[in-house]
Structure 1
Amino acid sequence: KPSFASAPAAPLSGTPGDPAPFDVELTGERSVETARRVVERLRERGVCVIRAGADRTFQRALQIESKALWDMEAFSEAKKGQPVVPGSHQVRFDTRDDKVVWMTGEFKESHHNKCKALRVLDDQLGDFGWGLNKLLETEFGISLKQRSTGMLACYAGDMVPGARYDFHVDNPYQTSMEVVDDKRRLTLVYYINESGWDVRRDGGGLQVCLTNPRRAPRTTAEAKLSPKLTVSPECDTMVAFFSHTMYHAVLPVVANKRRWALSTWFMSA
């Protein structure tokens, strides 16, 4: 699915704060109590920061595979869109600062030996999201029915200095953009970067505006008046947030580094 975002005249990315601590740490065992804690955090502020609990060997395999796919030029240009005028069915698409690989079944099959760990991670993200479904329906009336293809993204600070994605809502149908509801309700992001990432020195943090989790602000300016939560894109960090209500940004990557993440979206009926 295309991402919709505003096209500001000047960058709107914020200043990184102290990295948020983990709200939940996974143990490798499926737990109703773990899911309950995640959904409780989503109820409180619309975003939950999770330590996924992958072992170091798996983390390293994800990094190696991501870099190998980059070196073989598997990544392509990503686009962001916005209606020509609010509510218009005509959408203008602009190039984003990141490059992406869509983890389709065809791609995973044709690159089977190049993305073994990434295939496992993609499946695990799906399992995790579906595991929240019953509680999301009880708490919010959100019934997840479909999952998007996984998207592996790279912000290459060594090639695009200051690579960023300014504040936006993944599914902005409640905002002044007045686009059609694409049904996305839950976003999951897993970071694949090496340890030692410093959001102040290196940039690239995820920043989330802590607004009402049940309703998106109408404009970016309104969202930016709220407190903000900064997430460091350290490997094995996973973030869950509401796709349709939470404004967020990828802060500029100011170091000569590459920022990797695998994302997926879950849609309601």
Structure 2
Amino acid sequence: MPRHRAETRHLRTGVAGLAVVLGLWCTGDSTAPTPPATAQHPVAGQAVPLAASVPPEAASSSTPGTGSPAPSTVEPGAAGPSAATPSGSGAPTAGTSAPPAPSAAAPGAAAPRAPARTLDPEARPRALPASAPVRLTIGTLGVEDRLMTLDRRPDRTLEVPPEHPGAPAGWYRRSPTPGEVGPAVLLGHVNATGGGAGVFADLHRLVPGDRIAVARADGSTAEFTVDAVERHAKDSFPTLRVYGNTAGPELRLITCDGYDPATGTFDENLVVYASLARG
């Protein structure tokens, strides 16, 4: 037990650093970026700020043939998010929305409580074995492109995809491979050098129910359903919700948002939360 607590503290430190790096990535372009076509767009819900954080490495094991870590299952009640309500954090979960408003009741009568929702484990899509992602397809956005692999630099900052036009999105190899239990993390630019569009320029157009497909090195394809699309200020990035352990296979697509023409920088991250639909 003491060893587990020590590992958890170490991992929390790692994920906090990852959130900081994402903030720097959004503001560190050497040229003033062109804002997305839609300056303001609706989002599906708002994340609840969390004090604690658990990193993607909290659910990692070795990926055959790639050396990349893959997640281990986290039991409900363990440190970090679990999802008896699917997931992304110990409290808010991917796809979580505000509770339904109580129905009308007679004066003085207690409002009826919504029945608890449970998901039959047999109804959940079966998790896939580890296999590195090689291609990303988002049909509603017309995105179909290869994926590169991202890691940490020697100084422990996160690698990001190239900024040139046509650069692909990248999979962070210390997160689960798409289809494994846990949140697989894909990063992509919203803009490219010279003012062109990045691979994730239209990510804000996704809505709950849209499909995302990730082709894997073993020939299989993991298909995900979008649960939520949220914007988070870089100074209050919800690390636990985004990177925390989950009960099932999930996906996170992350890019920049909140363009400020006065500074020529992005002040927010746009995060797409999705869960496995079919493996």
Structure number having the greater strand percentage: 1
Q: TM-score, normalized by length of structure 2?
A: 0.30
The answer to which structure has the higher helix fraction is 1
